[in-house]
Structures are given as structure tokens and as C-alpha cells.
């Protein structure tokens, strides 16, 4: 199978109508700077000198190509203490649009996805946390296209080919333009997407509690089928770190994911994907923080020579996190793919809640 890109014109002879920035747009960069400056100007340093961290923001990639394998979420480096139990719920509402055709492929992704993930964590020992997660998904045409179109216009992000197609439609297909399909996902009502088991080990903890390093291994059992080929049990190994103190904290993640599917997809799937993430947190008082983070994952697909399919996915995420009392934690986030022509979900609103029992 030769998937080398043959030409730069579409299958119908039309030039590609795309927005292909090669650097981060100025608008989002300015917005992030103003976000932190606004909080910094209205929060006295003495009020947050000993504030504990609340980040990072909970988020994971939603593009159906990347979800052919595990998509680890950015999470705190801390473990829950021994004998404690925690239940986390994350809701992510995403909007996705990618359309392009060439001599080697046709990609049409136009959908919305609501993911509901429930995670149970238990402190098995002083430096060991174990748990499990179930993920439930709904996919369909949705109602967010008008909103996304409006703010893309307002911020001069561009629309790619979105204006050429009806709003709130549904399609999740990647083909060679003929009979060969690589991704083909059904519209889905509420249903189980996967189940996961994991263990998290604390590798280092600073004496003052401001710095932590942990490693998390997970195994995923998929239940949602791509019509082309079934996914198989896979796993991920990810390291999480936190550094800093006072009102400022830096969170980091780095890891690798095994990519496993049936042999039909072997010609276009890589064997593994690497991911990295950085999050900067600014505490505002003792129970609230402003956070901005950036995440990058190497591609799942190969051989197309096209940015929207086999280039890294990258996302900018901004939001806030906090705590209620001793038992409840939360964070809320907004995500946008930057640059806009990478294989990443376009837009996600996320909400995470956690309850701990001591």
C-alpha cells in the first residue's frame, strides 16, 4: 500500500481550503498572558504564600484517531494517602471538524462527543495508589458548531473547510478515497467505551511537600469498535511531576502509549505514541488557582504526509481549579487545538469533581 502523498490538489481538482498556521496565533498568547496578569494583580502575595497546589487541569485527547489507543489524562503527581478512597468524575464535551481530500486519502471528521469518566482510587500503601476507571461516551451531530464558528471568527482562528458543510452534522471517517477504510465510527448513544486498571507509585516526595514525582502504569480494555478493525488491550506508562512553591507551581507529564489494533490497520498505524505536557498554576488564595497548560502527543497514523493526519496533536488548555473543605476538589477547563491543523480535537469544555473519604 503506497500512501505517499502524490499531489497538493484535492481529489476533485480543487485546491485545499485550509488554515495552516506554523506558529501559535497571537490572540491566544495574549489571552493567556492577560488571564494570569488579571489574577496576579488582584491577589495579595501574602495570602497565597503557603497555598497548596490544585492543578493540573484534567484533560485528555478526544480525536477519534488518537482514541484508537489509550489517551492518558493529565493528573496530579500526588497520590492519595494509604487506606483512603477517592472517586473522581470527569465530563468532557467536545466539538471536532476536519475535512480534506487528496490523491491518497479522504478525511471527514464532523462530530461532538460527551465523555463521562468515573475513576476510583485507593491508597494501597504509603507510596502506592491503585484503581480503576470506566468511560462512557455519546457521539453525534451536536449543537456546538454555531458557537465554535462564532468564536473562531471573533479570534481570527480561521474555519478550515467548516463553512462548506451544514452545521451540526455527523461523520467520523478516514479512507483512501475508495474501498479502503482506516477509521469509520458509528453515531453512538450512551454506551461503555473502555475500562481501565492502573497503579501509581510515588518515586520522590520533597520534605516540604512542594515537589513530587510519580509513575503511573495503566491497562485499557476497549469496548467501542471501529468498523474497520477492532482495538485490542493496550497500556500506557506516564510520569507526573510537580515543582515550585508559594503561589506558583509547575506541573509536568511525559509518557508513552502502546498502539494496538487488528492487522487491517498495521500499514497506517504506528506501534507507539509519546506525550508530554506542562501546566503553570498560580494560586489565588488557599482554595482557588488559575492554570494554563499545553500538551503534545506524537501521531498515531503514518505514511500520509499530511499535517491533519500524521503530525503531532497539540492543545492549549486554560481554566481554574480549587477545593471545598477537606473532601471535595474540582477543576473546570476550556481547550483549543493550536495550531489549528493538527489532528487534535477542536474544542472541549471539561469539568472534574473529586470526593475523598479518609
Q: Is 254 part of a structural domain of the chain? A: yes
pTM > 0.75: yes
| Burial of 347 from C-beta contacts in 10 A (0-12 / 13-18 / 19+) | buried
Number of separate domains in the chain: 1
Q: Is 185 part of a structural domain of the chain? A: yes
For cell 480525536, name the residue.
63
Domain extent for 268: 53-357
Task: Name the CA dihedral angle for 24, 29, 31, 37, rounded to a multiple of 10 degrees.
Answer: 170
- Contact residues for 293 (Cβ-Cβ < 8 A; gap 6+): 55, 56, 57, 59, 74, 251, 277, 278, 279, 280, 316, 317, 318
Q: Is 344 part of a structural domain of the chain? A: yes
- Contact residues for 34 (Cβ-Cβ < 8 A; gap 6+): none
Q: Is 23 part of a structural domain of the chain? A: no
Tell me the pairing of strands 328-337 and 347-357. Answer: antiparallel
| Gap between the Cα atoms of 122 and 124, Å rounded | 6
For cell 512542594, name the residue.
210
Return the C-alpha cell found at 212.
513530587
At residue 16, the pLDDT reads 40
> E strands of 230-327, at which residues?
234-245, 248-258, 272-283, 288-297, 313-324
Tell me the pairing of strands 128-140 and 171-175. Answer: unpaired
Q: Is 6 part of a structural domain of the chain? A: no
- Contact residues for 181 (Cβ-Cβ < 8 A; gap 6+): 173, 174, 175, 227, 228
Type and span of the H or E element at 294 = strand 288-297
| Gap between the Cα atoms of 226 and 231, Å rounded | 7
- Contact residues for 51 (Cβ-Cβ < 8 A; gap 6+): 246, 247, 283, 285, 286, 289
| Gap between the Cα atoms of 149 and 163, Å rounded | 9
For cell 476550556, name the residue.
334
- CA 98, 101, 107: angle at the middle one, nearest 5? 40
| Gap between the Cα atoms of 353 and 89, Å rounded | 5
**276: helix, strand or coil:** strand
Q: Is 27 part of a structural domain of the chain? A: no
Return the C-alpha cell found at 149.
464558528
Q: Is 44 part of a structural domain of the chain? A: no
The per-residue pLDDT string of the chain (358 residues; one tens digit each, 9 = 90 and over) reads 333 332 333 333 333 444 444 344 555 555 565 565 555 555 554 445 567 899 999 988 888 888 888 999 999 999 999 999 999 999 999 888 877 877 778 888 888 888 999 999 999 999 999 999 999 999 888 777 777 767 766 666 666 666 677 777 888 888 888 888 888 888 888 889 899 999 999 999 998 888 999 999 999 999 876 777 778 899 999 999 999 988 999 999 999 999 988 788 888 889 999 999 999 999 998 899 999 999 999 998 888 877 778 888 999 999 999 999 989 999 999 998 887 777 788 789 999 999 999 8
Q: Is 143 part of a structural domain of the chain? A: yes
- CA 254, 26, 54: angle at the middle one, nearest 5? 40
At residue 236, the pLDDT reads 97
Tell me the pairing of strands 212-222 and 181-184. Answer: unpaired
Q: Are 348 and 334 in contact (CB under 8 A)?
A: yes
Q: Give the length of the chain.
A: 358
| Burial of 226 from C-beta contacts in 10 A (0-12 / 13-18 / 19+) | buried
- Contact residues for 69 (Cβ-Cβ < 8 A; gap 6+): 220, 231, 234, 257, 258, 259, 260, 273, 300
CATH assignment at residue 215: 2.40.160.40
Task: Name the CA dihedral angle for 169, 10, 306, 17, rounded to a multiple of 10 degrees.
Answer: -60
- Contact residues for 209 (Cβ-Cβ < 8 A; gap 6+): 52
Amino acid at each position: 500500500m503506497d500512501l505517499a502523498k502524490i499531489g497538493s490538489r484535492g481529489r476533485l481538482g480543487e485546491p485545499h481550503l485550509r488554515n495552516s498556521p506554523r506558529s501559535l496565533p497571537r490572540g491566544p498568547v495574549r489571552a493567556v498572558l492577560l488571564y494570569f496578569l488579571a489574577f496576579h494583580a488582584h491577589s495579595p502575595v501574602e495570602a497565597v504564600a503557603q497555598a497548596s497546589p490544585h492543578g493540573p487541569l484534567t484533560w485528555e485527547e478526544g480525536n477519534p484517531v488518537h482514541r484508537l489507543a489509550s489517551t492518558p489524562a493529565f493528573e496530579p503527581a500526588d497520590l492519595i494517602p494509604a487506606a483512603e478512597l477517592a472517586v473522581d468524575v470527569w465530563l468532557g464535551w467536545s466539538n471536532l471538524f476536519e475535512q480534506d481530500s487528496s490523491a491518497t486519502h479522504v478525511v471527514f471528521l464532523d462530530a461532538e462527543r460527551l465523555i463521562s469518566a468515573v475513576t476510583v482510587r485507593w491508597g494501597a500503601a504509603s507510596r502506592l495508589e491503585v484503581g480503576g476507571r470506566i468511560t462512557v461516551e455519546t457521539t453525534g451531530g451536536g449543537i456546538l458548531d454555531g458557537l465554535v464558528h462564532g468564536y473562531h471568527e471573533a479570534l481570527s482562528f480561521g474555519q478550515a473547510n467548516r463553512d462548506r458543510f451544514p452545521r451540526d452534522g455527523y461523520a467520523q471517517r478516514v479512507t483512501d478515497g475508495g474501498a479502503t477504510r482506516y477509521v469509520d465510527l458509528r453515531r453512538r448513544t450512551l454506551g461503555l467505551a473502555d475500562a481501565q486498571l492502573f497503579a501509581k507509585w510515588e518515586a520522590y516526595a520533597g520534605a516540604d511537600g512542594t515537589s513530587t514525582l510519580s509513575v503511573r502504569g495503566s491497562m485499557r480494555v476497549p469496548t467501542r469498535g471501529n468498523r474497520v478493525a477492532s482495538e485490542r488491550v493496550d497500556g500506557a506508562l506516564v510520569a507526573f511531576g510537580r515543582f515550585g512553591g508559594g503561589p506558583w507551581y509547575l506541573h509536568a507529564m511525559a509518557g508513552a502509549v502502546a498502539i494496538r489494533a487488528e492487522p487491517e490497520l498495521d500499514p497506517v498505524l504506528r506501534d507507539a505514541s509519546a506525550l508530554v505536557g506542562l501546566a503553570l498554576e498560580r494560586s489565588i488564595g488557599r482554595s482557588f488557582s488559575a492554570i494554563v497548560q499545553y500538551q503534545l502527543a506524537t501521531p498515531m497514523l503514518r505514511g500520509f504526509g499530511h499535517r491533519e493526519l500524521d503530525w503531532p496533536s497539540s492543545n492549549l488548555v486554560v481554566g481554574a481549579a480549587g477545593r471545598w473543605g477537606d473532601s471535595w476538589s474540582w477543576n473546570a477547563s476550556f481547550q483549543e487545538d493550536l495550531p489549528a491543523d493538527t489532528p487534535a480535537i477542536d474544542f472541549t469544555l471539561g469539568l472534574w469533581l473529586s470526593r475523598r473519604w479518609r
